[in-house]
Amino acid sequence: MMRNGASLSDAVESAARAGDLPAIEAQGLSKNYRIWKDERARIRAPMYRAASALAPIPALRRAFASEAAAQVRDFAALSTLDLTVPRGQCLGIVGRNGSGKSTLLQLICGILRPSAGSVRVRGRVAALLELGSGFNPEFTGRENVFLNASILGLSQDEVKARFAEIVEFADIGDFVEQPVKTYSSGMMLRLAFAVQILVDPDLLIVDEALSVGDEPFQRKCFARLERLREQGVTVLFVSHDMSPILNLCDRAILLHKGRLMLDASPKVVASIYQRFNHASTERAESLLAELCADAGRESKASEEVALHSAETGADGLEPPHPEYFDLGLMPDSTQVYDSMGARIINPRLVDSAGFRVNQLKGRGWYCYRYEVEFSEDCVGVNFAMLIKTLMGVELGGARTMPANKPVDMVGAGSRHGVEFRFQCNLTQGVYCMNAGVEAMLDGRPSYACRVLDALLFRVRPEQDALPTVTVDFLAQPSVRKL
């Protein structure tokens, strides 16, 4: 699909000739809305403007003009956004509600016209923006499949050839012959997603729709999205859940109040977005600006938590192991949440002999330790840890207490030592660890302090090792001739 009035067939042909041209190019893209003071303001405003033009006295003209301006204000849903998305890339789009995510997608799809700037899209676009969009509630599922597919540019014969596959993927049984108005939200999603991904799109847009589906269907959808990526389809994926952003996307952008704040790797965007979401209301705006102005600012945060010390015993910690502690294995992506009454100090890994290590042996036992200082009384306290891949995919973690049985009260001025003993059932590679202090803040569970990417550790390679990928399940293979 292309803006500027080109037909769909022209767009697809143009895309075929385009070669390596980007799938999406947006320059200075803006969308403004007029917000009226009240229902009668639309009538009053032109009257005031007319009175201003006819008033004989300058003071009256200014007064009427001022009243006309007071009846309406402009709201910038999206402001001067520049964005280029190469073909075949999966772009994650994150941001709070009202940040401009849906507006951007609607501009890309051609549903909205920009107030300023331009957007160019090459290829056939399929979009899941809102459940039921493009569906006629009075039509049956079958009729809506033909309607939606024809809107996307497929002929009747092409839809007939793919109908059985669409119905099989949607897995809604005989409901395909029932009016869509009788469908649940999950059934609506199944059918809508099945149509969108089976029309051979060049660009697929998914806006939070998959959050409605059940887990088996979500897995089915993500598996199909991965296949589309392998086939070179460009994907725009909006989610408040960072897991699919980290697992699926090659790149991510962070929007806030209509502005593009950050364009970076999914891991960097996710960590900054999480820290922004857990900051206090007073601090959140300035924090986001600081973090996005310099995504490398995390190195300063790394220093603040004193992750490691090269001098034996100088910081009161366990001495580093001369063979299994690499001074150069330091994270450059550490993010420290603003303190809400607690501070995490000295996260480190210790082996069974009491030495600090960051080079681990597969299947060995280790302790993850850190201290916490409380500057305020905290209720509902829990201490936590998490292990992730370098890409930010969460592998597993633990709390000191069950989520529903936290520590009732921790007093200001107290200091706690936290330890998690675990077996390293990971294959060779480098991994990250988080540390967190959970507490009830303003009546809801949140973080009194949290450190993302507090430290790195490497699992050393083993000769003749059997496991593959990431987790070592201690499988014991055997083969016998039958």
- Residue whose tokens read 């033009």: 53
Burial class (CB in 10 A: 0-12, 13-18, 19+), 318: buried
**Residue 151's pLDDT band (cuts 50, 70, 90):** confident
* Residue 361, helix vs strand vs coil: coil
Rounded to whole angstroms, the Cα distance separating 268 from 456 reads 16
- Residue whose tokens read 């790195």: 456
**Residue 300's pLDDT band (cuts 50, 70, 90):** very low
**At residue 7, does pLDDT exceed 70?**
no
233: left (phi over 0), alpha (psi -120 to 50) or beta: beta
Return the closest-CA partner of residue 264 out of 302, 293, 228.
293
pTM: 0.73
**At residue 318, does pLDDT exceed 70?**
yes
Rounded to whole angstroms, the Cα distance separating 227 from 221 reads 10
119: left (phi over 0), alpha (psi -120 to 50) or beta: beta
**At residue 192, does pLDDT exceed 70?**
yes
Return the closest-CA partner of residue 103 out of 87, 83, 88.
83
Return the closest-CA partner of residue 341 out of 268, 449, 464.
449
**At residue 307, does pLDDT exceed 90?**
no
Residue 281's pLDDT is what? 77
Q: Which two tokens stand for residue 130?
A: 């809102």
What mean pLDDT is reported for the chain?
83
**At residue 78, does pLDDT exceed 50?**
yes
- Residue whose tokens read 């009260």: 409
**At residue 470, does pLDDT exceed 50?**
yes
Residue 212's pLDDT is what? 61
What's the CA angle centered on 17, arms 14 and 23, to 5 degrees? 65
Mean pLDDT, to the nearest integer, of 349-366? Answer: 94
Mean pLDDT, to the nearest integer, of 146-152? Answer: 83
CA distances from 262 to 41, 192, 304 (A): 38, 31, 24
CA distances from 15 to 11, 148, 163, 206, 375 (A): 6, 22, 26, 21, 59
**At residue 89, does pLDDT exceed 90?**
yes
**Residue 462's pLDDT band (cuts 50, 70, 90):** confident
Mean pLDDT, to the nearest integer, of 279-304? Answer: 66
Residue 293's pLDDT is what? 74
Write the CB contacts of 277 (distance below 8 Å, at least 6 apart in sequence): 96
Residue 118's pLDDT is what? 94
Mean pLDDT, to the nearest integer, of 13-28? Answer: 72
Give residue-wise pLDDT tens across range 270-284.
Answer: 888 888 887 777 788
Mean pLDDT, to the nearest integer, of 10-18? Answer: 45
Q: Which two tokens stand for residue 390?
A: 């370098």
100 within 8 A of 78, measured Cβ to Cβ: yes
CATH architecture of the domain formed by 299-459 = Distorted Sandwich (2.70)
405 within 8 A of 355, measured Cβ to Cβ: no
48: left (phi over 0), alpha (psi -120 to 50) or beta: alpha
Residue 308's pLDDT is what? 39
The beta strands (E) that lie in 63-108 are given as: 72-85, 90-94
**Residue 312's pLDDT band (cuts 50, 70, 90):** very low
**At residue 17, does pLDDT exceed 60?**
no
CATH class of this structure's domain 1-124+201-293: alpha beta
Residue 297's pLDDT is what? 47
What's the CA angle centered on 31, arms 28 and 35, to 5 degrees? 145
Q: What are 55's strand-pairing partners? A: none
Write the CB contacts of 173 (distance below 8 Å, at least 6 apart in sequence): none
**At residue 107, does pLDDT exceed 90?**
yes
- Alpha helices by DSSP H, 266-397: 266-277, 281-293, 298-304
Give residue-wise pLDDT tens across range 399-408.
Answer: 998 877 777 8
Lowest mean pLDDT among 173-177, 326-330, 424-428, 468-472: 468-472
**Residue 9's pLDDT band (cuts 50, 70, 90):** very low
CA distances from 80 to 116, 259, 305 (A): 8, 7, 38
**At residue 358, does pLDDT exceed 70?**
yes
422 within 8 A of 395, measured Cβ to Cβ: no
Share of the chain above pLDDT 90, in %: 37
Per-domain boundaries in the chain: 1-124+201-293, 299-459
Lowest mean pLDDT among 104-108, 336-340, 436-440: 336-340
CA distances from 159 to 7, 131, 189 (A): 20, 21, 19
Burial class (CB in 10 A: 0-12, 13-18, 19+), 178: middle
200 within 8 A of 161, measured Cβ to Cβ: no
Residue 310's pLDDT is what? 33
Give residue-wise pLDDT tens across range 197-256.
Answer: 777 889 999 887 666 666 777 777 888 888 888 888 999 999 888 888 888 899 999 999
Give residue-wise pLDDT tens across range 394-431.
Answer: 899 999 988 777 778 899 999 999 999 999 999 888 99
Q: What are 126's strand-pairing partners? A: 204
Mean pLDDT, to the nearest integer, of 310-314? Answer: 37
325 within 8 A of 425, measured Cβ to Cβ: no
Residue 296's pLDDT is what? 47
Q: Which two tokens stand for residue 271?
A: 């960590």
Rounded to whole angstroms, the Cα distance separating 464 from 146 reads 55
Mean pLDDT, to the nearest integer, of 435-464? Answer: 89
**Residue 8's pLDDT band (cuts 50, 70, 90):** very low
172 within 8 A of 213, measured Cβ to Cβ: no
**At residue 184, does pLDDT exceed 70?**
yes
Return the closest-CA partner of residue 15 out of 291, 6, 284.
6
- Could you check whether 1-124+201-293 and 299-459 share the same CATH topology? no
